[in-house]
Chains A and B, each alone.
Chain A
Amino acid sequence: MEKVLQYMLTGLAAGSLYALVALGVVLIYRSTRVLNFAHGDIATLATFVAFSLLTNRYSFPVALASSLLVGAAVGVAFYVGVLAKAQREGANLLGMVILTLGLALIIQGAVVWWWGAEPVSLPFPISDTRTYKLGPVVVSQLSIATMAAGLVGSFLLYLLVQKTRLGLAMRATSENVMAAQTLGIPTRMVLSVSWGVASALGVVAGIFLAPALLLDPFFMLDPFLKGFAAAVLGGLNSLPGAVVGAVILGVAESLTGAYVSIQFKNTLAFLIIIVVLLLRPEGLLGKEFKERV
């Protein structure tokens, strides 16, 4: 029993990172209907910026803040500079997804070019070897920090979306862009804020993931795919769904890794998603879409 709890706790820590990624994916999907394939790469770029600052003896808060800013700036710049322009030219949704792929390739190339493909380790103030005993389970400092980051990130996003005027505008825009525009909401500004916030959430996930792994130009690929899958599991238009899906995915993954097969851990995670989607195509908390002919 203690073992199960232990594995669930590990899964919870992973799940909170997936939640941060998934929230970003959902935020962008809800507002612009675009699946952002560059989400993981923006986070990678910003984490490398934090790495450079930390190795040059800047303090951790400075590095964190500036990497968040870099991530958000890239997201906003891509939306304003590329996506909005393509939309005016009449690109369809598939085209816009490909545009994010293009951005992902550019960022990957830039990261390899600037920092090299060798894995490096991020100097991080929180250790993953110092552990605490919580009753029967052992938890490392890093897992606690990770879960805290997931909770704080989700809570701040909740406050932003549900309790502020800007959040109201974001919800209105995601509901119906035309109507929002007619009511005088500056939709382009609101959408770029959504892109910025979403990218920053991904960066938080990247920063807290990096100390557990080594930092290389492709280290966000796997967590990004998981976050993506979690978002779909929870329902792509539901923010709470993203968190629920991510936690379920993290725990299920950790348990299958422990009890079924460590090699097929990732495979099983994706199989679970396919099965859930077959039973509930709109995701766990997603709204059912009714199509008119």
Chain B
Amino acid sequence: MDLIESYAQDLRFARRRITRALLGILLAALVALPWVAPDHAVFLGTLIALYSIGVMGQNLLIGYTGQISFGQAGFLAIGAFAFGHMRGWGAPFLVALAGAGGVAALAGVVVGFPSLRLKGPYLSIATLGFGVAVYQVFVNWEVLSGGRSGLSIARLTPMLGLTGTQTVYYTYVLLLAVFTLATYNIVSSYVGRAFVAIRDSDIAAEVHGVNLTRYKLLAFAISSFYAGVHGALYAQVLGHIEPQIFNIGESLTLFVAVIIGGVASIEGSILGAAFVLLVPKVFSEFREMVPIVYGATILIVLIFEPRGLFGRWLKARLYFQLWPFR
């Protein structure tokens, strides 16, 4: 047992000088990317940034609060269509984005209610049902989904003399930074500790004064807010949405990203998002083999590193810290 009396060290965002340097290099690389890389790589970076936000939200729910949800595509669809309609009514980008997140968060509270009674696989099926239900409502209800031709969304106007792709990229990376900071703060606050307590044992958490109803619903609300924003950003990038995009495969992709990246880890969420987007990209030469490679990679990663990519990173770092002793 180490006797820590001050938590100032633990609460600091970048604890060691080398971490700060690495963080600086990473940020510089992110800023420089659009100037050195071709457009399709910048677009890929944009996608990874927006997926990271969704995966982070999913990780707050699965990794930190321990509530399994297979219905994340439902929240994506709600966010995306709310965003599309609001943009159609003339709302500015950020207002529509907040609105999309808000609508999805409301839906999240509704879906959260079963979580007060259901656990583990039962909850996962209930949320799976929610995902399928939302999908079918959007497919069958043309007022919501904009009819057979889908919903078109106006592109962002390029700003500050940048090209369209660059504007979107910088906006999204900035948003990712904001969401990452927010997630760090949530996780290291009372709310985050309440989530972790619920995950480890909800009865024990309740005994210690955590209001289960409030914090379980809050976890669902926050996570679906992230998912709604993810859906909205995705819709903005695609410029055209139809309900078929948000099928059950999309929910499973987000779920896989959380597990592969590393459960209950913020950096892992970003790694996981990059993984699920890069694997199909890297193997795009063999089009019909993509699902096979994807599946096989999942098997290999999980058999040899059950803690996900972030666990591998921790082990590597530990190895170099202890080198040459171990």
Q: Give me the interface of A with B, judged by CB distance under 8 Å.
A: 29, 35, 37, 82, 85-86, 89-92, 94-95, 98-99, 101-110, 112-113, 221, 225, 228-229, 232, 236, 263-264, 266-267, 270-271, 273-274, 277-278, 281-283, 289, 291, 293
Asked whether any CB of chain A lies closer than 8 Å to the CB of B188, the reply is: no
The 8 Å CB contact of A109, one of B204, B259, B291, B303, is B291
Enumerate chain B residues within 8 angstroms of A29, measured Cβ to Cβ: 121
What 0/1 readout, one digit per residue, does chain B (131-145) give for beta carbons within 8 Å of chain A?
011001100100000
Taking the complex as formed, is B23 at the interface, i.e. its CB lies under 8 A from any CB of chain A?
no
**Chain A residues in 8 Å Cβ range of B201:** 293
Kindly list chain B residues whose C-beta atoms are within 8 Å of the C-beta of A282. 122
- Give the number of residue pairs across the A-B interface with Cβ within 8 Å: 137
Contact of B133 among A35, A94, A106, A267 (CB under 8 A): A267
Choice from A102, A108, A232 contacting B122 with Cβ under 8 Å:
A232
23 CB-based A-B contacts, threshold 8 Å: A86-B302, A86-B306, A94-B62, A95-B302, A99-B302, A102-B296, A106-B299, A107-B295, A109-B292, A225-B132, A232-B122, A263-B136, A266-B136, A267-B137, A270-B130, A273-B129, A277-B114, A277-B126, A278-B117, A281-B118, A282-B122, A289-B119, A293-B204
What are the residues of chain A within 8 A of B292 when measuring CB–CB? 105-106, 109-110, 113
Judged by DSSP, the binding face of B is helix
Given contacts A105-B291, A273-B126, A281-B118, contact A267 B136 (CB under 8 A): yes
B252 touching A101 by the CB < 8 A rule?
Answer: yes
Q: Which 3 A-B pairs have the closest CB atoms?
A: A105-B295, A109-B291, A270-B129
Q: In the complex, what distance in Å separates the CA atom of A29 from the CA atom of B124?
A: 14
Chain B count of residues within 8 A CB distance of the other chain:
47
Residues of chain B from 241 to 270 with CB closer than 8 A to chain A in the complex: 248, 252, 255-256, 259-260, 263
Judge whether B129 and A102 touch: CB under 8 Å: no
- Residues of B in contact with A (beta carbons under 8 Å apart): 62, 68, 113-114, 117-119, 121-122, 124-126, 128-130, 132-133, 136-137, 140, 201, 203-204, 207, 248, 252, 255-256, 259-260, 263, 288-299, 302-304, 306
Name B247's closest neighbour in chain A (CB-CB).
A221
A residues less than 8 Å from B117 (CB atoms): 277-278, 281
Cα A188 to Cα B117 in complex, Å, equals: 33
Is B133 in contact with A90, judged by CB distance below 8 angstroms?
no
Q: Cβ of A98 and Cβ of B256 under 8 Å apart?
A: yes
A287 smallest CB distance to B (angstroms): 13
- Which one of B124, B204, B290, B306 has the highest number of Cβ atoms from chain A below 10 Å of its Cβ? B306
How many angstroms from the CA of A95 to the CA of B114 in the assembled complex?
A: 24
**Chain A residues, Cβ within 8 Å of B263:** 94
* Distance of A86 Cα from B300 Cα, bound (Å): 10
Q: How far is the CB of B326 from chain A (nearest CB, A)?
A: 21
**Alpha-carbon distance between A267 and B139 when the two chains are bound, in angstroms:** 11
Q: Considering the chains assembled together, what is the distance between the CA atoms of A262 and B208 in angstroms?
A: 49
Q: A35-B121, A103-B295 are in contact. Are A109 and B289 (CB under 8 A)?
A: yes
> Within 8 Å CB of B114, what residues of A?
274, 277-278
Shortest Cβ distance from residue B104 to the other chain A in the assembled complex, whole angstroms: 18
Pairwise interchain contact A228-B306, C-beta atoms closer than 8 A = no
Q: Is the interface of A mostly helix, strand, loop or mixed?
A: helix
Contact in complex: B306, A91 (CB < 8 Å): yes
Q: What's the Cα separation between A274 and B111 when bound, in Å?
A: 10
Cβ–Cβ contact A232 & B306, under 8 A: no
Closest residue of chain A to B204 (Cβ to Cβ) is: A293
Min C-beta distance of B251 to chain A, whole Å: 11
Q: Are B259 and A98 in contact (CB under 8 A)?
A: yes
- Identify 15 new A-B residue pairs, CB closer than 8 A, beyond the known A92-B306, A271-B133, A281-B119: A86-B303, A94-B263, A98-B256, A98-B260, A101-B295, A103-B299, A104-B295, A105-B294, A108-B291, A264-B136, A267-B137, A273-B129, A277-B122, A282-B122, A293-B201
Please tell me if the beta carbons of B121 and A101 are within 8 angstroms of each other in the complex: no
B175 to chain A, nearest CB (A): 28
Give the docked Cα–Cα distance between A263 and B140 (Å): 7
Q: Give the residues in chain A near B136, CB-CB below 8 Å.
A: 263-264, 266-267
Complex Cα–Cα for A274 and B303 (A): 34
Closest beta carbon of chain A to B202's beta carbon, Å: 9
> Are B125 and A229 in touch, CB under 8 angstroms?
yes
Q: Are B288 and A112 touching (Cβ within 8 A)?
A: yes
Cβ-defined partner of A271 (8 Å) among B128, B129, B306: B129
| A106 adjacent to B68 (CB under 8 Å) | no
Name the contact of B129 in the complex, choosing from A94, A112, A274 (C-beta under 8 A): A274
B288 interface neighbour in A94, A109, A267, A278, Cβ under 8 Å:
A109
Closest chain A residue to B135 by CB distance?
Answer: A267
In the bound complex, CA of A82 to CA of B296 (Å): 11
B256 touches A106 (CB 8 A): no
**Complex contact A98–B255 (CB within 8 A):** yes
- Write out the residue numbers on chain A whose beta carbons fall within 8 Å of the beta carbon of B113: 278
> Closest chain A residue to B290 by CB distance?
A109
Most chain A beta carbons < 10 A, residue from B62, B121, B133, B297: B121
Would you call A232 and B303 a contact (CB within 8 A)? Answer: no
